[in-house]
Amino acid sequence: MARLFVRLLFAAFPILLFSACGRLPPPQESGSIIVAIRSGPSSYQDETGSGGASGFEKDMVDAFAQSLGLKVTYLVAGDQEELRDLLRQGKAHFAADAWIDDKGEFEFTTPLRESKQIVVGHADDLALREPPPDLAGTTVQATVGSPQATILAGMAGTPPKFSLTLRHHTAEFDLLQDVADKKTQFASTDMLQYNLALHFLPDLEIALELPGKIGFGWAFVPQDKVLRQKADDFLASARKDGTLARFHDRYFGHIARLKSQDIAEFLQEIQSTLPRYRQEFRNAQASSGIDWRLLAAIAYQESKWDPVATSPTGVRGMMMLTEDTADRLGVNNRLDPKQSIHAGAKYVATLRDQLPDEVREPDRTWLALAAYNLGMGHLNGARQFAVGMKRDPNAWYEMKSVLPLLARPEYYQRLKSGRARGGEAVILVENIRTYYGILVRQEPAAFPMFSMQ
């Protein structure tokens, strides 16, 4: 009996030691992987009522977990320091969207993305300053543990030339919101976060570019070499097969197309014009199954929410329907906003349903919107060209480089439908993606709809 007790004690010893160290059991044992991730538009956003959480980093982690046959649990952190704390405390197997440093505390995968570091101010305040930008006598906010905080601390000097305020457990977007609201003079961030924020805060402007680029990858404690190697292998494969590029395009491919004045105008129209038509867009969602905010984004791109808009080519109304399309959809007055909105929603839903089953969301919707502009005949022709070019006809990331070819004679002469301005269709879809993203943040969902993730 004593020997049996000793054997059982020694068998349990690794488990006891493991628990004492505060580390999680390997994910293969539990069938689940726990990942710390930053809150924000570049990594993880919980859009209740819109298909759940989404984000570039989340999609990449989901794909990694799927490749291992594991489920994922996310622990959402406000900033880089909180992200690292979750890893230090053994609460996560790894941390996604972590700043890659050389301090030796963690081991990192190769970068998933790289970005410049900047200091951002309010456009009104910067207009009053003499170039080059000077931070002397000002206040600059940074998040604890961010790479910008380290650089700015060195720039401030002793005694400090400017005041550096470090914020704990705060998303970078909240720092930028404070600048836009003139609650603070400057905030530090990276170029990607700035470009994303411009969609909601168009009064921001770059005040100063900090030296060097920063990389963001997945961080592991040094003991987890096996899991880190699997992550590196997965990322290498994702780069090779285009998964990384497709996810990057899904979230960031459209962000720099609109100018800040376009965004500012759109935000103003959300307040002044959208309330008149909001309920009709919501009603159209009920009949079509398409998020009312996407329908509103389409209408804004088409007509700037002008019910009597008319183009030189004869398309008219809020959703800019052709006469033939309106007739097919039973519209007797294209300038009636109710008829136009409902017909446009039905048309988009019909185009989406006509695509093959293998086209997945959100690509299915973006391709349907391209067909809304070009017609399904032209889109199908472009998809055939994509196959011949060994590109994926089911992926918007691939198709947006194929569609402009429809304006070139060596391509459109092979189509029954003839020439098309495919480049304009790409711009239309990319702008709609931007407007839709803004509306998702500004306006609540009406009720659950199809998932575009």
Show which residues are catalytic.
302
Phi, psi for residue 144 in degrees, rounded to 5: -60, 135
Distance from C-alpha of 217 to C-alpha of 236, rounded to nearest angstrom: 13
Which residues, at least 6 apart from 439, have a Cβ–Cβ distance to it below 8 Å?
Answer: 270, 293, 294, 296, 297
Class of residue 56 by CB neighbours under 10 A (exposed 0-12, middle 13-18, buried 19+): buried
The answer to whether 227 touches 27, Cβ cutoff 8 Å, is: yes
Distance from C-alpha of 176 to C-alpha of 183, rounded to nearest angstrom: 10
DSSP string of 200-258, one letter each residue: T-TTEEEEEEEEEEEEEEEEE-TT-HHHHHHHHHHHHHHHHHTHHHHHHHHHHTTTTSS
Sequence length of the chain is 453
Strand ranges (DSSP E) for 136-184? 139-143, 163-167
Which residues, at least 6 apart from 246, have a Cβ–Cβ distance to it below 8 Å?
Answer: 395, 397
The answer to whether 108 touches 98, Cβ cutoff 8 Å, is: yes
Distance from C-alpha of 305 to C-alpha of 46, rounded to nearest angstrom: 28
**How far is it between the farthest Cα atoms of the chain?**
94
The answer to whether 199 touches 437, Cβ cutoff 8 Å, is: yes
Nearest CA among 174, 202, 198, 203 for reference residue 188: 174
Q: Using the 8-state DSSP alphabet, how is residue 337 labeled?
A: H
DSSP string of 102-140, one letter each residue: SSSSSEE-S-SEEEEEEEEEEHHHHTTSPSSP--TT-EE
